[in-house]
Amino acid sequence: MSWVGSRVKRVEDPALLKGEGRFVDDIHLPGMLLAAVVRSPFAHARIAGIDASAALAIPGVHAVVTHADLPEAFRQPLPLLVPNPAIRYPVMQHVLAKDAVHFVGEAIALVLADDRYIAEDGVDLVVVDYEPLPAASDFRKAAAAGAPAAHAGRADNIAAEFAVGYGEADQAFARAAHIFKEELFQHRGAAHPMECRAMLAHQDTLTGTLTIWANTQAPHQLRDVYCRMTGAADDRVRVIAPNTGGGFGSKVQTYPEHIATAAAALLTKLPVKYIEDRREHFLSTHQERDQLWTVEIAVDGDGKVLGVRGSLMHDSGAYLPWGVITPFISATTMPGPYVIPAYRMKVTCVFTNKVATTPVRGAGRPQAAFAMERLMDRVARELGLDPAEVRRRNYVPADRMPYAVGLTFRDGSPVVYDSGDYPACQQLALDRAGYDGFRAEQASVRAEGRYLGIGIGSYIEGTGLGPFEGATVQVTPGGQILARVGSSDQGQGHRTMFAQIVADRLGVGPDKVTVTVGDSGGVAYGIGTFASRVAVNAGSSAHVAAGKVREKAIKIASHLLEAAEEDLDLGDGRVFVKGVPAVGKTLGEIAAFANGMPGFSMPAGITVGLEDTSYFTPQRSTYANGCHVAVVEVDVETGGVKILRYVTAHDCGTIINTMMVEGQVAGGVVHGIGNALFEWMRYDDDGQPLTVNFGEYLLPLATETPCIEQAHMQTPTPLNPLGVKGAGEGGTIPAAAAIAGAIDDALRPFGVKITQVPVTPEYLLDLIHKKS
């Protein structure tokens, strides 16, 4: 049997369920200092001076570290990791604020003390002399001429401008039978993993190695940024990501606090730990926040799309740690699963005095899906067609795969949908949802004064982005099978997934494979866990490496057993002679031979060790796809929305573990429900955040989450040996679109049109009021 494709129980869970997980905050090193951070209370201010003397006078406070106290190599901004020629001002945040702060929560100083309580008392006593400056808050206002500058001295707040597209969009519009235009405001809040950021840095005095334990999604990147800034050698710095309580994109970035904590450890020659609290997380962990889309669609008389064009404004926040990645992905995802003959999108990125925005689960795609799906619904409404039918007329048909869209993706490769059957996927979702029977139900409850509606959200998702991820598979003379992967796990179940892949190649059970993830010391190079890329990249690497180990084991066994390789087979952890299972060698015995014997030469043609390291480098992204159907009930008197049913049909290529894919999709949908109805990071006109706890920032709870009914399709991609596509973000991408479509549909009698997410009760009441 094959382990890939089985519902293998997660190897991670027993320890987590028993409370034996080890998170950064569970690590206690002798002499360790606890850090608390002095953060800016102003969205924009000059720093005229800092007086730490009162804090330093508190017994138990060891040091206060400000910009001026940092070693020289640390007195610089973090590097811009994903440059783009469109960026006009590549402004990056300093490790600790130098002479100005640009958002509420920007780190100014670290107070290091015997415990966190003392450190926080110290923070209260650090006197920072601020000269407040006017702040750019709402990105729409900030983009206008004459708005307060987010960075003093700049003429305007336009961080970057670019356009993407193909074909002759204006010509398509000139000959269209119908043109429909929408202005869509979309807010996405933040990621909000349950575990906030956590880090611990310690330089070993014996070896000189700096070890940083951090709940990062990208240990290698953190190491590389640190080395790039300080000139340290790669092998003197090790980043380990232990158990991590969620990330959803927010923990991909290397943050100033990471580097500051490391600097503090070097300065004090003691281990330094910093654990972010929830309020700090609301203030200073990256978010995704606001986009404004002004989009137009041109269709012929049958509702077939001729072109799409428009502009997209994106709230970048105060800095550009990942350049313009999010709006770039948004703009290049807009065509979605449809044949759009001509497309043009102009993108403007705006600086505001708010924490930087970087990708959150879905990474700009949910907004693109929302924009495209709102247009599809609009076409259906205006032309009197069923929304499912309009989509059907426009889907890329299965026989046009692979389908080149005409765009260039963020990795520079052309956007080519490799495989999938989008019309069939929609049909699967509609059938599951009982779409055809819904209208009758809708009509009958409407007679009772109840408003039910159904909505569709379709999407594609570029997943498995390169450049690579590495894996080492090794068999020890003791017979242990070890797999080491650089990317880290935030709860997805990566160790289970790798164990399944390696087990298949080496003819053992997954329980026989010990997987280590999230250690920059495990493999030399790595990129990180984001963009639904680990199964594609690291999974393929593990598959290839385990295959190499398998070949080598057979080759050595052929030497030891004096049998031809073709006559050998591998199973139950042994290589044996086909038909004569008693004659064979265990993998441990083979590994012992490959590790050599003192004084004996290696036999000709046999290299040292039963081990292989592979770096799978995908040619380009694979495209997963799916279709969601939501059924909602709207209370037209209170503006309340209840999701009655939620159906997903999803194609992520070969499924490695159905149970884990279902978990990813369900979790993703809940994120999408939050974006559709609840999560709103509010700021006032001065850039002061208003929602800094979960009382004010609403996450969906069990009461808001329907049973998520899932159907799967599997169209393996030809782009990697496993045939897998990413599954981590698809649940989120079309959710807001499907829910908004359903609300529209429910409120048809009022002629209401949703052009904003989240949909709040007062927004709905206002729409209904205006129409009735």
Assigned token pair, 392: 């059907």
Q: Give the span between the Cα atoms of 696 and 690, in whole angstroms.
A: 8
How many amino acids of this chain bind another protein (CB under 8 A)? 33
Q: Closest Cα to residue 446, out of 211, 633, 177, 206? A: 633
CB closer to another protein, 105 vs 455: 105
Spell out, one character per residue from 699 to 718, where the chain touches another protein: x when CB under 8 A holds, - when not: -xxxxx--------------
- Which one of the spans 30-38, 228-236, 291-299, 689-697 is the region binding another protein (CB under 8 A)? 689-697
Judged by CB under 8 A, which of 698, 706, 711, 721 binds another protein?
698
The alpha carbon dihedral of 418, 420, 422, 425 has a sign of: negative
309 membership: H or E segment, kind and range: strand 305-317
CB closer to another protein, 561 vs 673: 673
Shortest distance, CB of residue 742 to another protein, whole angstroms?
Answer: 17
Shortest distance, CB of residue 418 to another protein, whole angstroms?
Answer: 40
Q: Give the span between the Cα atoms of 743 and 756, in whole angstroms.
A: 12
CB closer to another protein, 175 vs 769: 769
Confirm or reject binding of residue 72 to another protein (CB under 8 A).
Answer: no
Judged by CB under 8 A, which of 441, 638, 748, 751 binds another protein?
638
Q: Give the span between the Cα atoms of 456 and 372, in whole angstroms.
A: 11
Spell out, one character per residue from 104 to 123, where the chain touches another protein: x when CB under 8 A holds, - when not: x------------x--xx--
Judged by CB under 8 A, which of 279, 346, 392, 432 binds another protein?
279
The gap between the terminal CA atoms of the chain, to the nearest Å, is 62
Spell out, one character per residue from 73 to 102, where the chain touches another protein: x when CB under 8 A holds, - when not: ------------------------------
Judged by CB under 8 A, which of 311, 691, 714, 756 binds another protein?
691
- Which one of the spans 290-298, 354-362, 399-407, 691-699 is the region binding another protein (CB under 8 A)? 691-699
Judged by CB under 8 A, which of 397, 684, 770, 772 binds another protein?
684
Confirm or reject binding of residue 566 to another protein (CB under 8 A).
Answer: no
Shortest distance, CB of residue 432 to another protein, whole angstroms?
Answer: 25
Q: Closest Cα to residue 311, out of 297, 294, 332, 336? A: 294
Q: How many residues does the chain have?
A: 772
Shortest distance, CB of residue 703 to another protein, whole angstroms?
Answer: 4
149-156 contacts at long range (C-beta below 8 A, 24 or more positions apart):
150/44, 150/102, 150/318, 150/351, 150/352, 150/353, 151/89, 151/91, 151/102, 151/318, 151/351, 152/44, 152/46, 152/100, 154/89, 154/351
Q: Environment class of residue 58 by beta-carbon count within 10 Å: exposed (0-12), middle (13-18) or buried (19+)? A: middle
- Which one of the spans 239-247, 413-421, 484-492, 686-694 is the region binding another protein (CB under 8 A)? 686-694
- Which one of the spans 226-234, 236-244, 302-310, 679-687 is the region binding another protein (CB under 8 A)? 679-687
3-state helix, strand, coil split of the chain in percent (to 5) is 30, 25, 40
Q: Give the span between the Cα atoms of 567 and 555, in whole angstroms.
A: 11
Judged by CB under 8 A, which of 769, 770, 771, 772 binds another protein?
769
Judged by CB under 8 A, which of 193, 256, 387, 639 binds another protein?
639
- Which one of the spans 137-145, 185-193, 287-295, 694-702 is the region binding another protein (CB under 8 A)? 694-702
The rounded Cα 465 to chain-centroid distance in angstroms is 12
Shortest distance, CB of residue 738 to another protein, whole angstroms?
Answer: 20
Instruction: Give the CA count within 13 Å in the CB-facing half-sphere of 200.
Output: 19
Query: Residue 539's beta-bridge partner residues?
Result: none
CB closer to another protein, 120 vs 567: 120
**Per-residue CA distances from 688 to 103, 430, 473, 475 (Å):** 8, 44, 50, 56
Confirm or reject binding of residue 766 to another protein (CB under 8 A).
Answer: yes
Confirm or reject binding of residue 54 to another protein (CB under 8 A).
Answer: no
CB closer to another protein, 227 vs 698: 698
CB closer to another protein, 368 vs 747: 747
Q: Give the span between the Cα atoms of 8 and 6, in whole angstroms.
A: 5
Confirm or reject binding of residue 190 to another protein (CB under 8 A).
Answer: no
Assigned token pair, 709: 């009914």
Assigned token pair, 732: 């989120």
Q: Closest Cα to residue 131, out of 49, 69, 52? A: 49
Q: Give the span between the Cα atoms of 236 and 209, in whole angstroms.
A: 5
Confirm or reject binding of residue 173 to another protein (CB under 8 A).
Answer: no
For residue 57, how many other CB atoms are within 10 A of its CB? 10
Judged by CB under 8 A, which of 682, 748, 770, 771 binds another protein?
682
Confirm or reject binding of residue 205 to another protein (CB under 8 A).
Answer: no
Shortest distance, CB of residue 60 to another protein, whole angstroms?
Answer: 13
435 membership: H or E segment, kind and range: helix 435-446
CB closer to another protein, 158 vs 698: 698
Residue 397: cis peptide before it, omega within 30 degrees of 0: no
| Alpha-helical runs (H) found in 37-115 | 53-56
Confirm or reject binding of residue 231 to another protein (CB under 8 A).
Answer: no
Give contact residues for another protein (rule: CB under 8 A). Answer: 41, 104, 117, 120-121, 279, 637-640, 642, 678, 682, 684-685, 688, 690-692, 695-696, 698, 700-704, 760-762, 765-766, 769
